[in-house]
């Protein structure tokens, strides 16, 4: 910003403070996780002690494994179905109603989708477990993958697929040799975003999980832990999870065209 006026400076200062507000609390967490004493009462030196403690807690490790299974499976479903959906929607002329339907999973309050899915599974007498979380997470993930792939498709030059068809390629060959390579960065960006969203999702998982350890995800474990206050183990785990999320979202953003990022 070349604006050197007083309002310009004030605006920039405000933006700086906004970033401080957004990142300060997370930074404090991360620094505290490295404190040997664990709590802000005294700084007793940098140590990875609390990270080691985490690895000795079987209930945290099993929750982390469950989360990875849920995130991977729901991402796989959502990436396939969401990409296919995006290709179909973008080929249509009228899509007002479709747009509304595809927007809904992104804006519906989590609690509403959560109780709706719980009611649905209960009515069908489906046993709840990791599988019901996967089915549920795929709902919002399909919508997000579809949205990301659609932005990629908008900058897609359709004359090359027409040329491919004119040269006698079957629709499948055209898709595999031309469309997929061109939209692949968008598909990957959508998949990374979907993985992050599922990895961090708590409310829907909480309502659609079965009883007991076998379908407890990491966010559910965290929720149970933070209700009892601040502990150095939570700080260490929170730091790791934030780093994973930030890395995945950053990677997803790098894959998307300028000016069309989530």
* 42-81: contacts with other proteins (CB under 8 A): 77, 80-81
- Nearest-approach distance from CB 205 to other proteins, in angstroms: 11
Residue whose CB is less far from other proteins, 65 or 226: 226
Exactly one of 50, 71, 82, 150 binds other proteins (CB under 8 A); that residue is: 82
Report the run of H or E that residue 174 belongs to, with start and end: helix 171-174
Stretch that binds other proteins, among 43-51, 58-66, 178-186, 201-209 (CB under 8 A): 201-209
Closest among 182, 192, 163 to 262, alpha carbons compared: 192
List, in order, residues 6 or more apart from 210 with CB less than 8 Å away.
Answer: 127, 128, 129, 130, 132
Is 212 an interacting residue with respect to other proteins (CB under 8 A)?
Answer: no
Q: How many CA atoms lie within 13 A of 105 on its CB side?
A: 21
- Nearest-approach distance from CB 32 to other proteins, in angstroms: 7
Question: By CB under 8 A, what part of segment 1-30 binds other proteins?
Answer: 1-3, 7-8, 11-12, 14-15, 18-19, 21-23, 25-26, 28-29
Residue 46 bridge partners (DSSP): 35
Q: How far is CA 242 from CA 135, 179, 194, 199, in A?
A: 25, 34, 16, 11
Cα–Cα distance between 84 and 190 in angstroms, integer? 13
Residue whose CB is less far from other proteins, 14 or 56: 14
Cα–Cα distance between 205 and 216 in angstroms, integer? 8
Residue whose CB is less far from other proteins, 127 or 258: 258
Residue whose CB is less far from other proteins, 188 or 197: 197
Tokens of 95: 């899509």
Size of the residue set binding other proteins (CB under 8 A) = 89
Cα–Cα distance between 31 and 40 in angstroms, integer? 10
Question: By CB under 8 A, what part of segment 125-184 binds other proteins?
Answer: 135-136, 138-139, 142-143, 146, 166, 171
Report whether 245 contacts 200 (CB < 8 A).
Answer: yes
Contact flags string 213-252 toward other proteins, x per CB under 8 A: ------x--xx--xx-xx---xx--x--xx--xx--xx--
Exactly one of 89, 128, 169, 182 binds other proteins (CB under 8 A); that residue is: 89
């Amino acid at each position: 910003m070349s604006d050197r006026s007083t309002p310009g400076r004030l605006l920039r200062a405000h933006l700086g403070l906004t970033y401080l507000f957004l990142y300060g609390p997370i930074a404090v967490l991360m620094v505290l996780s490295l404190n040997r004493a664990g709590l802000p009462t005294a700084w007793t030196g940098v140590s990875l002690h609390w990270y080691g403690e985490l690895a000795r807690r079987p209930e945290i490790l099993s929750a982390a494994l469950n989360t990875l299974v849920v995130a991977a499976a729901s991402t796989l479903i959502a990436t396939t179905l969401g990409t296919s959906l995006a290709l179909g929607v973008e080929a249509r002329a009228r899509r007002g109603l479709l747009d509304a339907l595809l927007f809904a999973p992104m804006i519906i309050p989590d609690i509403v989708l959560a109780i709706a899915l719980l009611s649905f599974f209960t009515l069908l007498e489906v046993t709840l477990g990791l599988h019901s979380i996967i089915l549920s997470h795929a709902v919002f993930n399909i919508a997000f993958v579809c949205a990301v792939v659609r932005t990629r498709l908008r900058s897609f030059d359709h004359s090359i697929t027409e040329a491919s068809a004119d040269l006698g390629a079957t629709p499948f060959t055209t898709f595999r040799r031309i469309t997929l390579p061109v939209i692949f960065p968008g598909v990957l960006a959508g998949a990374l975003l979907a993985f992050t969203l599922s990895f961090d999702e708590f409310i829907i998982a909480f309502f659609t999980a079965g009883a007991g350890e076998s379908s407890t995800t990491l966010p559910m474990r965290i929720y149970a832990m933070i209700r009892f206050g601040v502990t150095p183990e939570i700080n260490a785990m929170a730091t790791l999870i934030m780093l994973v999320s930030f890395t995945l979202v950053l990677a997803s953003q790098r894959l998307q065209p300028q000016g069309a990022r989530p």
